[in-house]
Amino acid sequence: TRVNNPNTEILEDKAACWDGAEESALFGSGMGAVSSTCLSFLRPGDTLVFGDPVYGGTEFFFRHMLPMFGIKTKHFPAGATKAEMEALVKDDPTVKVIYLESPANPTIMISDIGAARELADQFSTPDRKILVMVDNTFMGPIFSNPLHLGADLVIYSATKFFGGHSDLVAGFAMGSKALIAQVKVFRTILGSI
Ligand SMILES: *Cc1c(COP(=O)(O)O)cnc(C)c1O
C-alpha cells in the first residue's frame, strides 16, 4: 500500500542496518527520496545550502522547483574548505539545510561531512535546527556511513550502486526515528513510496 507493506518494511530494516540508522524510508526512486525528504523539512523563507555539483535531477529540483515554493538555495563548490562553507551559513538565519553529495555526481568530489556537522551545530538556534543531509549514492553504505560522520539524514538512489544490478528503481532516506517519521508523513501524502 502507499502507507506501508511487509516487504517494504523488511527492506527498510535491512537497509538501515548497513548505515547504522535507527530507521529508513524506502522510496519509488532516488528523486522521490531527495524531493520528499527536502520538502519534509524546508518551508517558505528557508534556505538550502548545497555543495555544487549535485546529480542533475537534484540540481533541477534545487534551482528551479524549490524557489517556486519560496525556498532559496545557494551553493559552495563541492570539496570546499570549512571556511568557504561557513561563509554561506553564518550571518544567514534562514539556513535550514546543508546538503552534500559525497562523492558528488558527476565530479566525484569529496565534501567534509564533519565540518558541515560542526557548522550546523554552531549556527543552529533553539527554534531553527540546521539539518545536514548527505546523498551517499556514489559511495554506498558499504564504504561510507555519513550518519557516523555527523549527517542527520542520508539519502540514496538505490537505482545505482546500492541495487547494483540495473534491475530496479528505488531510493532511501535514513536517519533517526523522529526525522524519518516526519519524512514518512510526506512520503505517504506525496505518494513517493
Ligand atoms: C541517480 C541519482 C539520483 C536520482 O536517482 P533515481 O533513482 O534515478 O531517481 C539521486 N542522487 C544521485 C547522486 C544520483 O546519482
User: What would the pLDDT profile of 25-73 be if each residue is shown by its tens digit?
Assistant: 999 999 999 999 999 999 999 999 999 999 999 999 999 999 999 999 9
| 18, pLDDT greater than 90 | yes
pTM: 0.98
CA-nearest of 28, 35, 41, 27 to 54 is 35
Q: How far, in Å, are 37, 39, 179 from residue 185 at the CA level? A: 10, 11, 10
Taking the alpha carbons of 41, 60, 157, 26 in that order, is the dihedral positive or negative?
Answer: positive
Atom of ligand 1 nearest to the CA of 104: 13
Find the 73 Cα to ligand 1 centroid distance in Å. 19
Q: Which residue has the cell 533553539?
A: 126
User: Across the chain, what does the average pLDDT equal?
Assistant: 97
Q: Please report which confidence band the pLDDT of residue 4 belongs to, taking 50, 70 and 90 as the band edges.
A: confident
Which pLDDT does position 41 carry in this prediction?
98
> 101 CB less than 6 Å from ligand 1?
yes
